[in-house]
Amino acid sequence: MNWERLKARYEAVAANVQIDSLGMNLVRLQTLAENGTEESVAQHLVRESQFFIEWIVPGLSLETNMALVQELLSLQRLLSRWKLNWSEQWDNPAERQKMADTAQHWYEHLQSYSSAIAS
């Protein structure tokens, strides 16, 4: 994966599109977690989502988007916890379902920010 090329493409689009891309990663992760398939793809989505957050936050105005920045940092911490406990969570169907449910929640939550930024 060429992270620098992905970063350049990601940073070239509007903030609402960046948030939508992050949200789509969460939807993909949700689907994989529900099905218990493609573990390596799911891990990649978690890492890519962390990069997306890393790349979007510096471009957001703290004056107008402080709540979004705080939410993104909370999501970043959650993704880090998932990475640290990956094997235990992925191998346990109940934990994977919690991961799927949480990913869905975050997707819906981010959609409200994306819509607000786009308007």
Exposure of 64 in the CB half-sphere (CA atoms within 13 A): 7
pLDDT of residue 119: 64
Q: How far is CA 72 from CA 35, 37, 39, 117, in A?
A: 26, 26, 24, 14
Q: How far apart are alpha carbons 45 and 52 in whole angstroms? A: 10
The dihedral formed by the CA atoms of 53, 18, 41 and 35, expressed in degrees to the nearest 10? 100
Q: How far apart are alpha carbons 61 and 65 in whole angstroms? A: 6
Show the tokens assigned to 2: 């060429």
Considering the four listed CATH numbers 1.20.950, 3.40.190, 1.20.120, 3.30.70, the one that applies to the domain covering 3-118 is: 1.20.120
Quick: pLDDT tens for 41-78. Answer: 999 999 999 999 999 999 988 888 899 999 999 999 99
Domain ranges of the chain: 3-118
Quick: pLDDT tens for 65-115. Answer: 899 999 999 999 999 999 999 999 999 999 999 999 999 999 999 998 888
pTM over 0.75: yes
Q: How many CB atoms lie within 10 A of CB 103?
A: 29
Looking at per-residue pLDDT, the higher value among 61 and 118 belongs to 61
